[in-house]
A and B are shown apart, each in its own frame.
Chain A
């Protein structure tokens, strides 16, 4: 078996050419699924293919046709994985969604699922057997539990089922942006684009058949879906997978997996470096080695140099070396990777003048002892087939080191937003990312965003979604609440803060309103608000057009808590 590279790209037509789906009687592991306190489940390629085919045959039997959209709203486990590949083998289009958890408001989850089904014309939803019975009555499409679905086919049905091989320019799957579920934009990716990404990104990390990928990442997010799922199964590289819920509570699980399976590649959002460094107890890593890892790839939220340092200090004794801490800049619209730092080299550090960067949008190199020195971490050069430039407000390309919006062009771009012909992703053939950055010596540096987007623990959060929830909390003046991100050094990510105007002066009532804001947001959006600040009328700053100015209100709040020496500054 050879790895798919840019040079061998034409050997694959669609994702159904994935190594894990090939019909030979292959005993090698396609994937290993790990859970705390459970024996590992090893799935051989041959069994992987057979089970995925069972899902495909069953979906076919239930009338799911090629190009139908199938939503997989599952707990992250093996069933959800078979459901995804089974849907593709049936020629239909899968899309991964989070399932309902105990933290979420069930009514709101059901309503947004129903909205998604209507707006995107979802043909069926696949989920767990228990949840299928609950969700079934709330959405206008069939809902199938895994066992119920596969019980509809027998061995003969599976033997006779022929995969529905699509055209390379048909949609392979959708990646949904974060945001209010029903209104999320479905990023549509065709087979050709996804394979271009797999080949080109594989080249960028010099992927070989000896690699082992270890991942805890959620599959409803581009980094988890592509790097921690599609890439290994297409390439035939073993995947060691765990659930994000399990990992976040038991972060040492990742290091045990790396040690036990000699993992070589692992993608992590920036906060995960802090989480692992600060919250894996010493005794949980005794005797474990991560020396087999050739790249820990920091991706999907702004990369912080201090997070890398913290991680190195904690795990250097376990074989983690500076040159293994790599960086990628990625987004669902480009399937996944846009840039990648080269293997075996620590990412370049660019020391620039912070004041010049802020005031003149110019990344002026200075020496590290300059009073305004600020260290930026490179995201590396673009991968083959992807072109990046920084553009000004009139979308004209900027010279090197000038900060502008990052625009990209590539052969692995989305084909469009699913069933949203009103949304045009491209401007003169370029996709505008909303990220602000500069290019120096051919490498991309991200410095901020043009939008008010909050990135908390690798998840994109739209402040307007949080604000619209806060506005429904009794006691809050509707339309008088603001949400924004606050960078947090301890967590290595942005935390979510809410400021809401309330009528009452009574501190007891204000506390109750603040508690209600935390609870309501958590139950409706999977987001934990870290700071809630209730203020009196007319506190919030509005723009001349009457909109709430998020950045100005964030600055005002930061100034206030700083003055009061309140909770925010108390956090080390």
Chain B
């Protein structure tokens, strides 16, 4: 899957399921958790989705606010894992 598709799918998932506002215009570098857009529960939810959707397992040690706070970070991690 190319980066563009991964980014689109992730952005749609985050706005629809985690921010619960599909019309939210999520930018690539904004802090999803630090910006208060979603709870810390969302990290675990994101990990489940990433595994189901892209077959990428992100270990707990990488599921941190510091490493997974922006769309850019999540996309990069998925692309790295998918190779």
Contact = CB atoms under 8 A, between A and B. Distances in A.
Given A251-B44, A528-B36, A511 B60 contact: no
Interface string A494-523: 010000000000000001001100111111
B43 A249 contact: yes
B79 interface: no
Contact of A531 (B21, B36, B61): B21
Interface in A235-254: 245, 248-253
Interface string A272-301: 000100111101100000000000000000
A567 interface: yes
Contacts of A570: 16, 22
Interface in B7-47: 16-17, 20-25, 33-41, 43-45, 47
A245 B57 contact: no
A279 B21 contact: no
Contacts, number: 82
B21 A514 contact: yes
Contacts of A567: 16, 20-22
Contact of A521 (B24, B25, B36, B47): B36
B3 interface: no
A278 B49 CA distance: 11
A37 B16 contact: no
Interface residues of A, number: 38
A457 B42 CA distance: 13
B63 A248 contact: no
B48 interface: yes
Contacts of A515: 24
A36 B38 contact: no
Q: Is the interface of A mostly helix, strand, loop or mixed?
A: helix
Contacts of A1: none
Interface in A525-545: 528, 530-532
Given A519-B36, A528-B36, A250 B20 contact: no
A522 B24 CA distance: 17
B27 to A, nearest CB: 11
Contact of A511 (B16, B25, B39): B25
A567 B16 CA distance: 8
B60 A532 contact: no
Contact of A279 (B24, B33, B35, B47): B47
22 contacts: A248-B44, A249-B44, A249-B65, A252-B60, A275-B41, A278-B48, A280-B44, A281-B48, A281-B57, A283-B57, A457-B39, A495-B20, A511-B23, A514-B21, A518-B36, A519-B35, A519-B36, A521-B36, A522-B37, A531-B21, A570-B16, A570-B22
Given A275-B44, A281-B57, 5 more contacts: A102-B65, A253-B60, A278-B48, A279-B44, A530-B20
